[in-house]
Amino acid sequence: MEKLRVGVLGATGAAGLEFVRALCGHPWFELEELYASGRSAGRPFGEACTLDLSGIPEDVKERRVRGMGEVGKGLDLICSALPSEVAREVEGECARHTPVISTTSAFRYEDDVPILITEVNADHHRLLGLQRRRGWEGWIAPGPNCTTVGLAVSLCPIYRELGIKRVIMSSYQSVSGGGYALIQKWRAQRRLELPKPLEGVREPIRDPEVVLEGNVIGYIEKEEAKVKRETLKILGDYADGRIEPARFRIDCSCVRVPTLRGHFETVFVETERACSEEDVKAIYEEFNERCKREFGDLPSSPEKAIVVLDRSPQPIFDVGLGGGMSTVVGRIERIEAYDSGIKYQVLSDNTQRGAAKGMVQVAEYLHKVGFL
């Protein structure tokens, strides 16, 4: 098989680096070009990217980073990890000539744009053909917010088999979900002796002196609205060139906690049909078997889409299961607040499944079905 030529936008950032890592040595894709802002353009990638470059081959480190204005038409696929504020213009321009997969929210909520998670809603890829109405030769396929991923994957089998009336979710999100600058701030604070609890009331999310270590940040801007909207779109049904969103009620609360990697969630589900803990475990096992049949030949697919534990998942031990691509579910229990339902805890790797590696898997699927 001749490899497809791939370029990465925003290659020197945290999400861009994970695209680079996922593409190095890939059996189907060849990493051809690295693009970044003017600060990085013209410099070797190993010099321009100041993040952890472990596992990146020397020839990639030595490759010259190109400026954003140099993105050309000689590629088969573009992977975008741009900041949202610039992604819309740049991704739209690229899609005029080349297919784009993206970790950003710039196009997620457009009617002709799917939010793809391979094992959950692969059939939504049929929307991509409608984007030619925009005058594009390519298309844009974004992934979901990293918090949405674990929720959508874990809900999907329950929704399909039991039906859902309502969902309540609380997320406890790692520092890495806030980007490299937040990681650096947290690491610096871990080396300091922190003050006693601060007096007075401040809005920490807008405070440049936000304290992460030993603290919980109870608000992540725009996060909850994204999770609710995206979950209903992802679990919706594709028919006649549009997606009919799922109709169950959903609400959530999203907070930042001082862990480095992995988003942890507690989920309370009221189901349309009664179920036991064993019923849900069996449904997950059937889901895994289906995923293995349909997507097991994709290079980035995990052995199990959902790993079920008999305990609570813990980021420090479990986030890397399936190469960071498995959704980890534990503590499945009957719920007493509803006549029928279930509660569980779920862990998803925001740096892998919830970001670049998850989108590389989407690209693999699109290549398999002929959209690349």
Number of structural domains found in the chain? 2
Q: Kindly give, in sequence order, each residue whose CB lies less than 8 Å from that of residue 78, ignoring residues fewer than 6 positions away.
A: 6, 7, 8, 9, 71, 94, 98, 99, 100, 101, 138
SS3 call for 2? coil
Based on the residue annotation, tell me whether 146 is a catalytic residue of this protein. yes
Q: What DSSP letter does each residue of 87-102 carry, written as one string?
A: HHHHHHHHHTTS-EEE
Residue of 146, 156, 254, 291 marked active site:
146
pLDDT at residue 193, rounded to an integer: 58
Residues 361 and 281 in one domain: no
Count CB neighbours of 294 within 10 A. 15
Residues 118 and 197 in one domain: no
pLDDT at residue 209, rounded to an integer: 56
Residues 110 and 160 in one domain: no
pLDDT at residue 180, rounded to an integer: 78
pLDDT at residue 204, rounded to an integer: 45
Residues 150 and 139 in one domain: no
Question: Which structure tokens are listed for 13?
Answer: 């950032």
Cα separation of 234 and 246, whole Å? 8
Residue of 263, 275, 291, 367 marked active site:
263
pLDDT at residue 202, rounded to an integer: 43
Residues 132 and 173 in one domain: no
Residues 8 and 112 in one domain: yes
Cα separation of 309 and 199, whole Å? 41
pLDDT at residue 207, rounded to an integer: 52
Residues 93 and 216 in one domain: no
Residues 131 and 172 in one domain: no
Domain of residue 200 covers 146-350
Residues 229 and 294 in one domain: yes
Residues 126 and 242 in one domain: no
Write the CATH number for 163: 3.30.360.10
User: pTM score, two decimals?
Assistant: 0.94
Residues 84 and 216 in one domain: no
Residues 124 and 211 in one domain: no
Write the CATH number for 14: 3.40.50.720
Segments of the chain scoring below 70 in pLDDT: 192-209
- 269-298 pLDDT, tens digit per residue, is 999 999 999 999 999 999 999 999 999 999
- Give the H or E element holding residue 7: strand 4-9
Based on the residue annotation, tell me whether 97 is a catalytic residue of this protein. no
